[in-house]
Amino acid sequence: MDFERLEQVMRRLALEAGDAIMEIYDSGDLGTRAKDDASPVTLADEAADRLIAAGLRAAFPDVALVTEEQAATHSARAATFLIVDPLDGTKEFVQRRGDFTVNIAYVENGVPLRGVVYAPAKGRLFYTTADGRAVEEAGPFDRETPGDRRPITVSTPDNRALMVVASKSHRDAATDDYIAKYAVRDMTSAGSSLKFCLVATGEADLYPRLGRTMEWDTAAGDAVLRGAGGEVVRFDDHTALSYGKPGFENPFFIAFAPGVLLVK
C-alpha cells in the first residue's frame, strides 16, 4: 500500500463526506428511516457512503472494500481491506447533538493500520499520517492541502484518578458497574468514534464498551488510538481486538492508555 496516497485520499474523502453530511444536517430534511435491524439511517448516511465508496474504489480498485450501508460488501473476506462507516453516531445526528463522525480505515492482517475520523459538526479531524503517527488537524480544512496539525498521544494515567469516557447513547448498568471498579476522577460522555479520539488525545484514559458494535464502527478510531500509543483489547481476555472477523461483529472491548491497570 502507498501510505502517502492513502493518507491523502482518506483525508479528502472524509472532508468531502463531511460537507455532504452537513448540507443535509442543515437542510432540515434528514430523510430518517429504520433499517432491517431497526437502527436509523438517513439521507446523509447514504450520500456519504456513495461518495466515499466511489472514491476508494477509484483510488484503490484492487483493495477489498467493506461499508456499513452496502450489505453486499459485508461478505468480503480478505487479509487487506478498507472499511467505512460513513456516518457513525446516526442517533446523535438525528437528535442534532453533533457527536457524529465520518470513519475510514485500512486493515491489514487483522490490524487497523491507518484511519481517519472526522467530526464535521465539531470541526475536529483526526487521522494517521503515512508513517502511522496520529495527528489532529486544526481547521479550516482544505481538501487538498493539510493545515496545521499536531501529533497526539495518550495520557500517562494515574490509576488513583482516571478520566473515563463512555457512550452517550448506549450507556447501560453493566458499563456503569464495570467503571465502578476503577478509581475515577471524572467521567464524560461522547457519541460515535469520538470516544477513541478522546483517549488518543489524552482527554480520557479509559473507554469501555459493553455493547454491540461492528468493525466499521471502531476501525478508524482504533487506528487513530493505536497511532497515538493507545490500545484496544477484547473485554473477555484482554487480547488485541482484531478485524476481518466473520460477520464483522466485535466482542465487548476496552480502549485505553497503556498504564491503566485493567480489571475484569
Q: What is the pLDDT of residue 38?
A: 58
For residue 168, name the pLDDT band (cuts at 50, 70, 90): low
- State residue 35's pLDDT score: 67
Task: Report the pLDDT averaged over residues 87-93.
Answer: 86
Residue type at 16 in one-letter notation: E
Please, are residues 32 and 130 in contact by the beta-carbon 8 Å criterion? no
Q: Does residue 40 have a cis bond before it (omega within 30 degrees)?
A: no
Among 121, 147, 122, 145, residue whose Cα is nearest residue 135: 147
Residue 248 pLDDT > 80: yes
Distance CA 257, CA 83 (A): 24
CA distance 257 to 264: 17
52 touches 84 (CB < 8 A): yes
Claim: this prediction has a pTM higher than 0.85: yes
Cα 75 from Cα 61, distance rounded (Å): 17
Could you give all domains of the chain from N- to C-terminal order, each with its CATH number?
Answer: 3-151 (3.30.540.10), 162-256 (3.40.190.80)
CA distance between the termini of the chain: 38
- For 173-228, how does the pLDDT look when each residue is reduced to its tens digit (9 = 90+)? 889 999 999 999 999 888 889 999 999 999 999 999 999 999 999 999 999 999 99
d(CA 30, CA 45): 10
The sign of the CA dihedral 26, 28, 29, 34 is positive
Q: Can you tell me whether residue 246 is helix, strand or coil?
A: helix
